[in-house]
Structure 1
Amino acid sequence: MKSNRFALFYMSVPLLLWCMSSLHARAQRTQKPPLHGKHWMAITGKPLAATAGAQLFQQGGNAVDAACAMLAATCTMWDVLSWGGETQALIYHPKLKKVIGISALGVAPKGATAEFFKEKGYDFPPEYGPLAAVTPGTPGGLCHMLAEYGTKSLKDVLAPAMEMAKGYPIDAQTANSIERGKDWIKQWPYSKRVFLVHEGQEREAPHAGEIFVQEDLLRTLQKMVEAEQRALAAGKNRKAAIMAAFDRFYRGDIAEEFVRGSQEQGGLITKNDLANWKPVEEEPLHITYKGVEVYKLQEWTQGPVMLQALQMLKQVDLSGMGYNSALYIHTLYQVMNLAFADRDFYYGDPHFTPRAPIEGLLSEQYAKARVATINPNRNNPTVMPGDPYPFEGKVNPYHNLLRERERLVLPTTEKKENFVPKHDAASTVVPKRKRIYERVASISVDSVYMDRLWRGTTSVEAADAEGWVVSITPSGGWLPACIAGRTGVGMSQRLQSFVLDSLLNPFNTLEPGKRPRVTLTPTLALKNGKPFLSFAVQGGDTQDQNLLQFFLNVVEFGMKPQEASEAANINSNQLWLSLGGTKITDRKPREGSLLLHKQTSKEVVERLQEMGYTIQFGERTSGPINAIYFDERHGTLWGGSSNNGEDYGIGW
């Protein structure tokens, strides 16, 4: 009955509302002009970095070459990431006519155990400093993509980044991030030496437009290029020469200095941790929504959240609700919360056991069962993970954990208790379980919380006339970053995305050699077997919220990429944060908390309040979305780059 009641309720929305809303959405003028190209498109988080991609295209490179050049440039510019971070990519191979997944995410070092951090009083690993680091992945990911799918040399691809490392006019956004984080930076001698160029003055960071020089990083990049060129001189082919640079970073003198500098500052990464790491190719996950095949990386990312949400949204008449009507917003919020509840319990590194029940999580029958639990008139403030195991013919081995989680959801009137997980503690017996799901409606959604929710990265999108398409969401090593010795490389902060107790997530509990479950989530979509959309966004836990809405704007409401990238989004805060803070209270879901654009109508706001939502308003309701749309009718490329941020695209 619930499912029928749900469907009938949604089908009753007047058609006039849809027509008015849809026409308004399609007629919207954009603040930034749409990009057009016939030969290629390059889009990323900074104008100079997009120029680096354009340079590679102009030199005859393909989309992989251009994407690698943009990746290198954004890392050198500290565009909310650096060279010690991680790279996640989807590549469409036009000759094989398939989508290829690349995981260049580092792993927990040997000494990083749950017990190690619990003994230090952490509920989650730290968010800054050398103890927050997994092994660097971006250098290896770039080398792998370029060697396997590019056409240019590493020397060619790194040339723009190396020129920047010699000195480039720093932008205000990065310079001000350095200034804001200078108290952290002063704790790390190598970071202090690079970033605080005016030490002792009122402003110690560089000024906007000042030439910012990174001599140590330049030497590191030069060493990689030297390794490649020596291999070529010795008769090695292009691919083997690029991988010689990989070896120098992970097993040679660069690795030695990285490890020395990390350990000097209290880090855990060893030479063996670096030497044993390598990027991984994988078969992406995908589902079909209204004739469009949507591809995401596997469940070590949060990407399957969007696929789960689309499976659920197949069951309702979205376009009939009206664009960003109260009913539409409520539906998205409920569906996203169901998907995120599953993410928060089931997602983790598929190379470790247990592996998430991803077949069940993505099945249409499971989606139907989840949708049937939605109340069309009211928010559910205590959404729990579902049980996908029966939908792949198995019995859930974590019934006890799920029952325990369910018992810990308190009615509003019950006594509130703080919870520090002890579920996996080997030396402690806890006589009475404290409450993991303390009610949080009274906790304000302040600027610190929103920073954790949106915590940044960048995105890289590239496509060419030959048919190569690349979507990358790189991240890690953001400011304030701890630089590892004289490498100039900022270490990752991704270890914080692990949990230390299996009651939170038995699939993402910290273990040495394991990849944390990350928020990073590039997207490719095909239609009729050909590229249709390539898109990604920065923004921590909001990424798949924003990308879901962008996709629906295009598919359901006929928007072009620039319109869809600028359109108002909603953000749900009713999920466990993946980043920021080391205590349970820093990460817990904010029940019913909903961010709306400040221009949302009074009628919509009032209806949502009646449904049980606590509303916040903002001008920024989405991270910067970058996208490429493939116009099959005209044989051209449309580019979109959000008006929120410094993201920039160039097409030809």
Structure 2
Amino acid sequence: MTFTTRPELQGTFGMVATTHWLASSAGMKMLEAGGTAADAAVAAGFVLNVVEPHLNGPLGDVPILVRPAGADTPIVICGQGVAPAGATIDHYRAEGLEIIPGSGLLSTVTPGAFDAWMVMLRDHGRLPLSEVLAPAIHYAEHGHPMLAAVADSIAGLADVFREEWPTSAPVWLPGGKAPKAGELFRNPDCAAMWTRLVAEAEAAEGGREAQIEAARRAHAQGFVAEAIDTYLQDACVIDATGERRKGVLTGQDMADWAATYEAPLAVDHAGWTVWKCGAWTQGPVLLQVLQMLAGDDLAAMDPTGPEAVHLIAEALKRAFADREAYYGDPALSDVPIDTLLSADHNAAHRADITDQASLDQRPGVIEGYEALAKAFLARAVRATPEAGIGAGEPTMEHLTNQKGDTVHIDVVDRWGNMVSATPSGGWLKSNPVIPGLGVPLNTRAQMFWLDEGLPSSLMPGARPRTTLTPSMAQGADGTDYAFGTPGGDQQDQWQTIFLLRLIHNGMNLQEAIDGPLFHTAHLQASFYPRGTKAGHLLVEPAFPEATIEGLRALGHRLEVSAPWAAGRLCAVARRPDGVVKGAATPRLMQAYAVGR
């Protein structure tokens, strides 16, 4: 048995695993009240908005995988908002930009998370909106003990809030001072926003579904959209470039957008089926790696040995090169997804992997799409500016000064309904707080390029190619899994390692999570300033010294992290006999699985 920090939980009633114990407990409360996995996930998601505001917020984004009990496959709910009508390349170029800043009003897309949560709650939940939002409203109104990472984030930006983003100061600096770790922290404006949404919902005629629809209208067409529209008409604030700019998002953009359903992508690997969201996420990266390694005897390799680490890292490099060359919003761009997931395309990638670390970018060759690969290679070496205020996504300590990154939720209930969701965006360092709402806008537009003709080019109505990427799988024995992690560009890297340990090494959920992790920054970063680190490979020090030295000998430009410094994986599972399981990472000492 592999060493673990805690047991893999097992039961028969339900499991909730999230990146904060209060969110996991709130989700479990919904299951105990007779709710479904959807009810639990929504409750957990809103609590995470409150207790991890440095990582996600109500005006952010969320892709969701939902698998109703008895369904053959999951379905996708797209909570990724789109570029506003005024978000054109010409406009951004006229603002003096070559890439989109990592913070500020021009980095905002239409908020998507709230509507996606409501669609899932309406169609897959049982409980009333008021009951599901009650835990989050309680913590926002009456307070919660502030995490040290949140306190550190606020303290680091206190002067920015006072001098440049004055609408943020009353929320994040109560009494004019940065709060301390462990202090009770409240966000009364956020609580009032949700309380009003519930009140307007309950005032609507009809039953539960009608009330949820009323809340959706109040958000997209009512007082929430009006508050955002009013603020953005005059606001002109500093962004990651150090310049002050106005935004282009309007209330009409919010009224024109709604969360949608779509089919997931899937591949089969070693008797398992794995599902991901579409190419508007980075999710297909994991699927491509599974295809690349389909012919390798991974079970015969030591999962902590240099051979396995090298092979997986090199496969990831090639899949991420394809991501940058070819992925984008398939609703508006021609994304060759069938070719990208095909056995032949990925076999060519596998044949390119040698016993030495690659130091250049290697997108696959796709006939008719050569210009996209050429454009990627040109911009991958283009100089990028230094990151500025609020730039990028908060990731692990070894990447920036922020500890933690995005949030994640997995739930399975007693009936077999499952949810996997990765909420993000709208964190406290992304943008100024919208007056009266207590929360800022998102920054997902930074993933667009200001070059014409790419699948990831900025264009009105397009979804940015997000890093957010929940996962589901079914094992060869019929066990169903929901899993994921925060981590920006690292999300599908850590998930790949976790999944391969389940499939090929026979580990349980907690063993696969607790094992040492690695990732590469060789890829072109999704976040401002969009740089690369050729040949980079980060490994946790729990890898054997022989592995670390072996990887150096193979040419990897190795970075050994602090202990327990990579990954925030969560997972749940349900066996065909009804036994449910749950696990969560010990890293950062926040994530917990609960269940019975």
Q: Same fold (TM over 0.5)?
A: yes
Tell me which residue corresponds to 1:402. 373
Give SS of 1:605's match: helix
Residue pairs, 1:410-559, within 5 angstroms: 419=383, 450-451=399-400, 456-481=405-430, 482-502=432-452, 506-527=454-475, 530-559=478-507
- Over aligned residue pairs, what C-alpha RMSD do you find? 2.3
Cα distance in 2, alignment partners of residues 184 and 449 from structure 1 = 23
The equivalent of 1:54 in structure 2 is: 28
Q: Secondary structure of 1:489's match?
A: coil
CA distance in 2, matches of 1:340, 1:454: 24
What is the CA-CA distance between 1:455 and the residue it aligns to? 7.1
| Pick aligned residue for 2:542 from 594, 599, 612 | 599
- Selected match of 1:112 from 84, 87, 90: 87
**1:95: how far off?**
4.2
Instruction: Say if 2:135 is the partner of 1:155.
Output: no
* Range with bigger deviation, 458-467 or 190-199: 190-199
Deviation of 1:448 after TM superposition, in Å, equals 8.6
Shift of residue 518, structure 1, vs aligned partner: 0.5
Whole-angstrom CA distance in 1 between matches of 2:447 and 2:348: 29
Q: Hey, what does 1:588 align to over in structure 2?
A: 531
1:66 is the counterpart of 2:40:
yes
Residue 435 (structure 1) aligns with: none
* Contact preservation (8 Å) 2:484, 2:569: yes
Amino acid at match of 1:622: A
Contact 2:361-2:377 at 8 Å conserved across structures: no
Match of 1:224 among 194, 197, 203: 197
**Cα distance in 1 for residues equivalent to 2:201 and 2:415:** 27
When residues 113 and 42 of structure 1 are mapped into structure 2, their CA distance, relative to the original with a 3 A threshold, is: same
Task: Give the match for residue 593 of structure 2.
Answer: 649
Could you tell me how far 1:529 is from its partner in structure 2? 8.9
**Distance across 2 between alignment mates of 1:286 and 1:418:** 34
Does the 8 A contact of 1:101 with 1:283 survive in 2? yes
2: CA distance, partners of 1:580 / 1:408 = 13
Contact kept, 8 Å, 1:104 with 1:141, in 2: the verdict is yes
Q: 1:97 to 1:610 in 2, by over 3 A?
A: closer
Please name the residue that 1:349 is paired with. 329
- When residues 279 and 253 of structure 1 are mapped into structure 2, their CA distance, relative to the original with a 3 A threshold, is same
Change (3 A) 1:245 1:222: same
Indicate which of 281, 287, 298 corresponds to 1:307: 287
Corresponding residue number in structure 1 for 2:570? 626
- Residue 159 of structure 2 is aligned with which of 183, 192, 207? 183
Q: Does 1:380 align with 2:358?
A: yes
**For the residues of structure 1 that align with 2:27 and 2:396, how far apart are their CA atoms?**
34
Larger radius of gyration: 1
Letter in 2 for 1:402: A
Match of 2:580 in 1: 637
Q: Distance in 2 between matches of 1:58 and 1:485?
A: 36
Whole-Å separation in 2 of the counterparts to 1:461 and 1:264: 40
1:518 and 1:650 map into 2 onto residues whose CA distance is 29
Structure 1 spans left out of the alignment, 5+ residues: 1-26, 389-394, 410-416, 422-445, 582-586
In structure 1, C-alpha distance between the alignment counterparts of 2:403 and 2:87, rounded to whole Å: 26
1:454/1:539 contact within 8 Å kept: no
Name the structure 2 match of 1:166. 141
Corresponding residue of 2:338? 359
Q: Which runs of 5+ in 2 are unaligned?
A: 236-245, 386-394
Distance 1:263 1:562, change over 3 A: farther
CA distance in 1, matches of 2:585, 2:349: 33
1:31 corresponds to which residue? Answer: 5
Counterpart-to-counterpart distance in 2, 1:478 and 1:291: 39
For 2:157 and 2:384, how far apart are their aligned partners in 1? 29
Shift of the alpha carbon at 1:272? 1.0
Distance in 2 (CA, whole Å) between partners of 1:304 and 1:535 is 15
Q: 2: distance between equivalents of 1:242 and 1:371?
A: 48
- Which AA in structure 2 matches 1:546? W
Q: 2:66 matched to which residue of 1?
A: 91
TM-score relative to the length of structure 1:
0.84
Alignment of 1:263-274 (within 5 A): 263-265=233-235, 266-274=246-254
Please say if residues 190 and 486 of structure 1, whose CA atoms lie closer than 8 Å, have aligned partners that are also in contact. Answer: no
**1:529/1:67 Cα in 2 relative to 1: closer, same or farther (>3 Å)?**
farther
Structure 1 Cα separation of the partners of residues 429 and 417 of structure 2? 35
AA aligned to 2:218 is R
For residues 47 and 292 of structure 1, what CA distance do their matches in structure 2 show? 30
For 1:166 and 1:405, the matched residues in 2 are separated by 47
SS where residue 577 of structure 1 aligns?
coil
- C-alpha deviation, 1:58, in angstroms: 1.4
Task: Give the percent of matched residue pairs that are identical in Structure 1 and Structure 2.
Answer: 32
Report the TM-score when normalising by structure 2.
0.91
After superposition, the C-alpha distances for 1:511-548 in whole angstroms (9 at most, x for unaligned) are 11211001100001123695521101010000000000
Kindly indicate whether the alpha-carbon contact (under 8 Å) linking 2:517 and 2:567 is maintained by their aligned counterparts in 1.
no
Counterpart amino acid of residue 373 in structure 2: L
Partners of 1:48 and 1:407 lie apart in 2 by 46
Distance across 1 between alignment mates of 2:19 and 2:438:
21
SS where residue 628 of structure 1 aligns?
A: strand
Aligned equivalents of 2:223 and 2:568: distance in 1?
37
Deviates more, 1:361-370 or 1:541-550: 361-370
Deviating beyond 6 angstroms after TM superposition, the runs of 4 or more aligned structure 1 residues are 446-449, 452-455
2:513 corresponding residue in structure 1: 565
Contact residue 454 and residue 538 of structure 1 kept, 8 A = no
Q: Is the 8 A contact 1:532 1:629 kept in 2?
A: yes
Name the counterpart of 1:370.
Answer: 349
Deviation of 1:564 after TM superposition, in Å, equals 0.9
Q: In the aligned structure 1, how far is the partner of 2:301 from the partner of 2:71?
A: 40
Using a 3 Å threshold, how does the CA distance of structure 1 residues 405 and 180 change in structure 2: closer, same or farther? closer
Partner of 1:613: 556
